[in-house]
Copies of this chain bind each other. A is one copy, B any other.
């Protein structure tokens, strides 16, 4: 941490700052510049209250050199985390390091036959985890009963086809229940900073798919991961579905530039959600390939029901045919990047 004093800061201001720093047990070095005085602090950065220091008289700015996250950082763990998804009746799927995987499924689980049809198709074309987005439609008043039914269908379907399953959890009171059914707990973008939920999930021993909120920075995503890691759950897969920008031609701009950054800053695997970002199926394949090319460890893709009779399929899903072609391209792309598709 570096403290930049104001141009007109007095000696008293400086003394007050130095006293405060000493009380934290850190040591400081003061340098007198031509215009300003700068104080560098050595010690455990987490002991420093940056806000408090900034509020002292005579302080212009407090610059943090260390990142504000800790357990998710490469400095904390140098080697890549590889998360094992699935156990028991379903085979284990690895995500992270050199292991690529694709999570796929319908947008909303409407019926058991429809789920089987899509799941069989995506399984045959290279998806290894059954999932997708299962979030309630706002107007679905009877969603909770439907959610329980859907979970059972998913579990049965996953067991039969040999695919681990992934589903949403959004209320602290449901964590214990849902954890019994699924292999991968998904935290939706809306709940990325629902810290009460993150603390509950930190206590479970199921892997977590932590989605970035479209209004969150990379640092905030990694700070949310820290919350889960602090609870003892180390199996976190990050998921980037784009950020809000001034560009209005798409729903959310996929933050491709952050993929190499996250890979450099953190040991956690990261996958991309091109459907959520694009908001339109036509643009999904290009974004999916781009995500993998930029270093993502996997994809999550929503696939349209095979017959066009669904009520809830969204414009962001891809057709079964497009999915099949995309997965061929991903399979060809992987070795160029020294990776392997599960």
Contacts and interface: CB of A to CB of B under 8 A. Distances in A.
Given A75-B35, A244-B215, A312 B49 contact: yes
B46 A42 contact: no
Given A257-B287, A289-B294, A246 B249 contact: no
Nearest to A242: B257
Contacts of A65: 2, 4, 36, 38, 61, 63
- Most B CB within 10 A of own CB, among A46, A282, A286, A329: A286
5 contacts: A31-B40, A46-B139, A52-B315, A247-B255, A333-B333
A125 interface: no
A211 to B, nearest CB: 12
Contacts of A289: 293-294, 337
A335 B130 CA distance: 30
A18 interface: no
A9 interface: no
Contacts of A31: 29, 40, 42
B253 A255 contact: yes
A282 B264 contact: yes
A181 interface: no
Interface in A149-207: 170-173, 190-191, 193-197
A114 interface: no
Interface in A1-57: 2, 4, 7, 29, 31, 33-36, 38, 40, 42-43, 46, 49, 51-52, 54-55
A258 B250 contact: yes
Contacts of A71: none
B281 A55 contact: yes
A218 interface: yes
Contacts of A264: 282-283
Interface in A295-326: 295, 304, 310-317
A43 B272 CA distance: 38
A50 to B, nearest CB: 8
A234 to B, nearest CB: 19
Given A46-B139, A215-B213, A245 B249 contact: no
A283 B261 contact: yes
Contacts of A293: 286, 289-290, 292-293, 333
Contact of A2 (B34, B42, B63, B259): B63
- Most B CB within 10 A of own CB, among A38, A63, A194, A333: A194
Contacts of A247: 217-218, 243, 255, 257-258
Interface in A59-87: 61, 63, 65-66, 75
A124 interface: no
